Amino acid sequence: MATEEKKKQTDGAVSLSQQIEKTKTRSKSYVMDLRVQSPASMGYLGVEGLDSAPAIVRLAKVKGLDVIAITDFYSGEFIDRMVAAAKSSPLTVIPGVSVRCKVKTCSDVVISCLFPESITSDGIDGFLRELNIPEEARGNPDYVITATIDQLLHSLSARNGIAIPSRLDKTPHRMSVIPELVENYGFRAFDLAYADSSAFFKKRWPKIKFQLFTFSDANALAQIGSRNAKVKMPTPGFEGLKDLISRQEA
């Protein structure tokens, strides 16, 4: 009888342990907009007399966002201010930067580069310096980097960063690059201009699971969260995103 009782207790402990483990790994839903610009970008439409950093945090809350990424072109200037503004809120701010590079004959390939939450404005600047991006390119969406996409991805990977190609479905010329990024570079996540472009991916690669988003590309307060994605992740913030959208080894 004592042995049987001990077995019941052991089975109960194992069952409880399994339940705890399931609870720890259970995915939660997060609403995110991973393409948000700030006053560090040219053409940003701010409101005179309003501090944009806390205003972005407040608006993100109103829009029901859990995660945003600040992705100005060639600038990390606003990252530290955004992190400080969101410190006492539930909003997660992902440090990021947007770059425009050339792939094959297309020099209009925009990549959103995202980094762990520990990366500061100085860290973004170091990344840009490594890619030989000049100071005058800061905030300029028309500048095309001289580094190759291989060099870009190498520098990004060295900093534990991840990449999302953005709006490549906007023109046929941009769209022609998508097979190269999928088949030779292992991209599985894309930020689309048009939601119905997902049909292109499903038709061409029916066996590949993609993460297809449509983020706001906001360059004004009112645009933040106007397009967003609701995803399930077992881990919040950057680590969850990394599991969700990392490239596959091609």
pLDDT per residue, tens digit, the chain (250 aa), is: 555 554 444 454 445 444 444 444 577 999 999 999 988 888 776 666 578 899 999 999 999 999 999 999 999 999 999 999 999 999 999 999 999 999 999 999 999 999 999 999 999 999 999 999 999 999 999 999 999 999 999 999 999 999 999 999 999 999 999 999 999 999 999 999 999 999 999 999 999 999 999 999 998 888 999 999 999 998 889 999 999 999 987 5
- Please check whether residue 213 is in contact with residue 190, taking contact to mean a CB–CB distance below 8 angstroms: yes
Q: What is the pLDDT of residue 49?
A: 57
CATH label of the domain that carries residue 92: 3.20.20.140
Is residue 105 domain-resident?
A: yes
b/e 39-48 (16+ beta carbons within 10 angstroms → b): bbbbebeeee
- Please check whether residue 102 is in contact with residue 127, taking contact to mean a CB–CB distance below 8 angstroms: no
Q: Where are the beta strands (DSSP E) in the chain?
A: 28-36, 67-70, 92-103, 106-114, 162-166, 189-191, 211-213, 229-233
Q: How many CB atoms lie within 10 A of CB 151?
A: 15
Q: Which range marks the domain in which residue 79 is found?
A: 27-245
Nearest to 214 by CA among 31, 33, 36: 33
Is residue 187 domain-resident?
A: yes
Is residue 87 domain-resident?
A: yes
Q: What is the pLDDT of residue 25?
A: 53
**What's the total number of domains in the chain?**
1
* Angstrom distance (rounded) from CA 79 to CA 121: 5
Is residue 118 domain-resident?
A: yes
* Angstrom distance (rounded) from CA 42 to CA 39: 7
pTM here is 0.87
Q: What is the pLDDT of residue 90?
A: 94
* Angstrom distance (rounded) from CA 241 to CA 239: 5
Q: What is the pLDDT of residue 44?
A: 74
- Please check whether residue 30 is in contact with residue 231, taking contact to mean a CB–CB distance below 8 angstroms: yes
Q: What is the SS3 assignment for 242?
A: helix
Q: Virtual CA dihedral for 181, 183, 184, 189, nearest 10 degrees?
A: 40
Is residue 133 domain-resident?
A: yes
- Cα Rg of the chain, angstroms: 21
Is residue 2 domain-resident?
A: no
Q: What is the pLDDT of residue 37?
A: 93
Is residue 4 domain-resident?
A: no
Is residue 12 domain-resident?
A: no
* Angstrom distance (rounded) from CA 33 to CA 63: 10
* Angstrom distance (rounded) from CA 98 to CA 79: 13
